[in-house]
């Protein structure tokens, strides 16, 4: 019988959030996808306070399959919307651990951010909050949900090419 995994420290949870953003900034999308659980989701609600992605419209609500398709598109030689390729930069406020359920192995962090996405001469700034719902799978932390709430989520947007 295996001993239960130890509850991760706050520092480990915060490092996960910082490392996840670094993977995106470094365009290491395959490694980023590995952070998700098999049932993981990437969710960007359309409205502030939205509680259910399936009952309301969202800017994005993607499972690992859809995330993989987007990553493959970013790597594609014939993806003309990525010539030149988009780049991004996350500026994170220090994340906060807002919930711990050690018995269930579920931990939630919330982080205010500024995010810049650029391609060619175009640069777009987004601001909001990222909520990471993390779970322990063995000794590894994984994302069950990454929720991105934009300050102006109800605005008209151009194409958001990358992941915040």
Q: What is the DSSP string of 98-130?
A: EEEETTTTEEEEEEEEEEEEEETTEEEEEEEEE
Q: Give residue-wise pLDDT tens across range 60-71.
A: 999 999 999 999
The gap from C-alpha 25 to its chain's centroid, in whole angstroms, comes to: 12
Query: For residue 125, how many C-alpha atoms fall within 13 Å in the half-sphere facing its CB?
Result: 4
Q: What is the per-residue pLDDT for 71?
A: 93
Residues of the chain with pLDDT under 70: 1-5
What would the two tokens of residue 120 be? 């060619």
Q: What is the per-residue pLDDT for 5?
A: 61
Decide if 98 contacts 38 (C-beta within 8 A): no
Q: Is the N-terminal amide bond of 84 cis, ω within 30° of 0?
A: yes
The domain 10-150 is placed in CATH, from the list 2.60.40.420, 3.10.450.50, 3.40.50.300, 1.25.40.340, at 3.10.450.50
Q: Tell me how far apart the alpha carbons of residues 135 and 137 are, in angstroms, rounded to a whole number.
A: 6
Q: Tell me how far apart the alpha carbons of residues 132 and 148 are, in angstroms, rounded to a whole number.
A: 9
Task: Say how many Å lie between the first and final Cα of the chain, rounded.
Answer: 40
DSSP-derived 3-state class of residue 38 = strand
Q: What is the per-residue pLDDT for 3?
A: 45
């Amino acid at each position: 019988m295996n001993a239960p995994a130890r509850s991760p420290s706050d520092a480990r949870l915060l490092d996960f959030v910082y490392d996840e953003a670094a993977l995106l900034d470094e365009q290491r999308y395959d490694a980023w996808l590995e952070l998700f659980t098999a049932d993981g989701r990437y969710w960007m609600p359309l409205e502030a306070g939205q509680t259910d992605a399936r009952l309301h419209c969202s800017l994005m609500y993607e499972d690992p399959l859809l995330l993989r398709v987007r990553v493959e598109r970013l790597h594609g030689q014939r993806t003309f919307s990525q010539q030149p390729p988009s780049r991004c930069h996350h500026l994170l406020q220090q994340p906060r651990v807002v919930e711990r359920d050690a018995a269930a192995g579920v931990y939630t962090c919330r982080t205010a951010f500024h995010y810049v996405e650029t391609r060619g001469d175009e640069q777009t700034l987004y601001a909001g909050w990222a909520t990471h719902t993390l779970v322990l799978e063995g000794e590894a932390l994984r994302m069950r949900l990454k929720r991105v709430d934009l300050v102006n989520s109800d605005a008209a947007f151009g194409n958001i090419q990358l992941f915040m």
